[in-house]
Amino acid sequence: MATNNEIEGFGRVSRTAGTLFRYLLLAATLFGLVFVTILLVYVANDAIRPLTADPGWHLTFFLTLVIPTLAAGAYANRRDIAALRTGVFTIGFVVVALMFSGGAAMIFVDIVEPLTWLAFLLALAVPTAVTMAVVSYDHRVSFVAQFVVTVAAFYLSLFGVPGPLGSLAGVSTMVPSLFGFVAGLPFAPAPWLMMAMTFGPPVAYVGSRYVAGDRDRRTHVLVGAGVLAVVLAGGALAPFAGVDPVPGVVVAAVGIAPPLVYAAGTAVNRPTERVGLLVPATVVVGSLVGAVAVDVVGFAGPQSWVDWAFLTSSHSSTAAEAGFYPAIGGSILLMLTVAVLAFPVGIGAAVYLEEYAPNNRFTRIIDVNISNLAGVPSVVYGLLGLGLFVTYLNQPPGTVLLGGATLGLLILPIVIISAREAIRAVPEETRAASYGMGATKWQTVKNVVLPRSFSGILTGTILALGRAIGETAPLIMIGAPNVKYSLPAGLSEAASAMPLQVYAWSSLYAGDDFYQKAVPAGVVVLVAILLAMNSIAIVLRNKYQSTE
């Protein structure tokens, strides 16, 4: 009998409502994700048009790339799941590093002269060295003296005597700054050698520290020399690939050397994960073999709108020839400006609010209002930028500096909030340990709180930066041009930006053709760059959490 059974067992409790609730929650979780994914797949299909390729092209790459990669992945996974993870991470690293090196290369091709760059670095390096020398004698030199020497060193090195202070008083510069001196030298090494000189040694140093760690000196030298060789080879071999040597050096130093260093570090220091490197190796070799094969047999690839020409040319009257180059460059410059303006202010405010601010009504009012600022629509920030900088301060509209300042204001509250969260995550015990050792507040912040929260702060600020470069409305408000035909030569020139260019292509004036070809291509590039930035943030966060 049923009732008997129930009495003998424990009976059952209905979970229908709970199960229903659970699946509703799952649906809610996936709701947005599914729609955005569908849209992106649709747009990517329009932009890259994989179906326009020869079936043979797909088959070739399936055989040379997809199958071997899957096989290598399965093999690595059988040996050690961590190895597979390392392998996949290396692939991602290569992709992201190459994208960044492309952005960096643009800056040195079109905006910053290699000699100016070298002069600038030297003009920063010398006073930095002076500062470090002064600080390491800090018990002998008073703080005020240190401060004065530091400021003077930077001023002299960057501006000379009497510099801008003198020109305010109508005195012309008598002694040129180190910067002016080097930048004005009549003779200089080849531009690509200068790039290799500035990029090679730091990458080689970091690389050898990473790979060789506390091994003997020989390993250090070997790794460092290897990295230098890669960087120099980038410059020397680029002409054979039809590329300028300057971007060749930048791509080698930023895009190729770091993943190689990472792979070498895995091979040397983590023997169990070594098999994982098979995966990226298969991807690289498979792509090359596939590319050669389709070339030889003559299978046509997809007629993608996102191609080399799209990335390297500017807007044109026909959609098929329109390019994204000035918009990408404009966005990169805006991003740098935003970072330089918003991060110090935002992180400074966060440190003040978390570590110094007294707990009184004034602080609480600021607290609430920063959260409110984060919710102010971006159009309003655009209006602020227009009113403050263009109307009131008489700045020309639409410049990089203006756009950067406006977007910087826009993300400032987000930077503050996320940096505060990261600082708050530093355990109170760690602070207590520092104060208990007789540290002052400044020493505690500098030595314990900031290093500990650094990656958290960076994660939040990178995400905020992603928000900034995706913004369109504030740029429209401040009068940034929709279409630019070249990269801005400096911060005080007008610049377009990726979202603005996409918006221009999709507007009524641009015509249907642009809407179907250029817009999807632009969206794919924009989203790819944002995803690359977010992936950096996610990797940083995971690393941060695993060291807790």
User: What is the binding site for another protein (CB under 8 A)?
Assistant: 138-139, 214, 359, 427, 429-430, 432-440, 443, 447-448, 451-452, 547
**C-alpha separations of 8 from 4, 11, 13, 523 in Å:** 6, 8, 15, 65
CB of 541 to another protein, least distance (A): 16
- What is the rounded CA–CA span in Å between residue 134 and residue 153? 11
Q: Closer CB to another protein, residue 387 or residue 451?
A: 451
What is the C-alpha separation between 4 and 528, in angstroms, rounded?
64
Which CB sits closer to another protein, 448 or 463? 448
Minimum distance from residue 433 beta carbon to another protein (Å): 4
CB of 517: closest distance to another protein in angstroms?
51
Beta-bridge partner residues of 494: 399
Identify which of residues 12 and 139 has a Cβ nearer to another protein in the complex.
139
Pick the closer one to another protein by CB: 173 or 363. Answer: 363
Long-range contacts of 236-242 (CB under 8 A, 24+ apart): 238/192
CB atoms within 10 A of CB 36: 11
Quote the least distance from Cβ 145 to another protein, whole Å.
15
Residue showing tokens 């990029």 = 199
Q: Which is nearer to another protein, 49 or 209 (CB)?
A: 209
Tokens of 211: 């790979």
Q: Which of 529, 528, 524, 530 is nearest to 502 (CA)?
A: 524
How far apart CA 457 and CA 88 sit, in angstroms, is: 26
CB of 394 to another protein, least distance (A): 47
| Closest distance to another protein from the beta carbon of 440 (Å) | 5
Contacts of range 104-109, beta carbons closer than 8 Å, 24 or more positions apart: 104/250, 104/254, 105/246, 105/247, 105/250, 105/251, 105/254, 106/247, 106/325, 106/328, 106/329, 106/332, 106/487, 107/329, 107/332, 107/333, 108/195, 108/246, 108/247, 108/250, 109/244, 109/246, 109/247
Compute the least distance from the CB of residue 285 to another protein, in Å: 36
For 373, which DSSP code?
H
Considering beta carbons, is residue 154 or 454 the nearer one to another protein?
454
Q: Name, in order, each residue with C-beta under 8 angstroms of 471's C-beta and a sequence gap of 6 or more.
A: 378, 407, 410, 499
Q: Token pair of 39, please?
A: 């849209």
Separation of alpha carbons 57 and 53, rounded Å = 6
Min separation Cβ 104 and another protein, Å:
31
Cβ closest to another protein, residue 62 vs residue 435: 435
CA distance to 244, 456, 540, per residue, from 543 (Å): 37, 10, 5
Residue indicated by tokens 């944002």: 530
- Name which of 135 and 300 has its Cβ closer to another protein: 135
Q: Is 225 helix (H, G, I), strand (E, B) or coil?
A: helix
On the 0-12 / 13-18 / 19+ scale of CB atoms within 10 A, 214 is: exposed
Tokens of 236: 């020397």
Minimum CB separation of residue 81 from another protein in Å reads 22
Nearer to another protein, 3 or 547 (CB): 547
Residue 359 beta carbon to another protein: minimum distance, rounded to whole angstroms: 6
Cβ at position 137, least distance to another protein in Å: 11
For residue 189, say if its preceding peptide bond is cis, omega within 30 degrees of 0. no
Distance of closest approach, residue 546 Cβ to another protein, in angstroms: 11
Tell me the closest approach of the beta carbon of residue 129 to another protein, in angstroms.
21
Whole-number minimum distance, CB 140 to another protein, in Å? 10
Q: Residue 101 corresponds to which amino acid?
A: S
Q: 318 or 447: whose CB is closer to another protein?
A: 447
Structure tokens at 430: 């760690």
Nearer to another protein, 145 or 174 (CB): 145
Contact 338, 471 (CB under 8 A): no
Whether the Cβ atoms of residue 482 and residue 518 lie closer than 8 Å to each other: no
Considering the complex, state which of residue 3 and residue 359 has its C-beta at the smaller distance from another protein: 359
Q: Which two tokens stand for residue 95?
A: 């992709």
Closer residue to another protein in complex, CB, 37/430: 430
Looking up tokens 């507040």 gives: 441
Q: Are 73 and 87 in contact (CB under 8 A)?
A: yes
Q: Nearer Cβ to another protein, position 186 or 436?
A: 436
**Cα gap 92→535, rounded to integer Å:** 9
Burial 145-176 (b: 16+ CB within 10 A, else e): eeeebbeebbbbbbbbebbeeeeeeeeeeeee
Per-residue HEC secondary structure of 258-272 comes to HHHHHHHHHHHHCHH
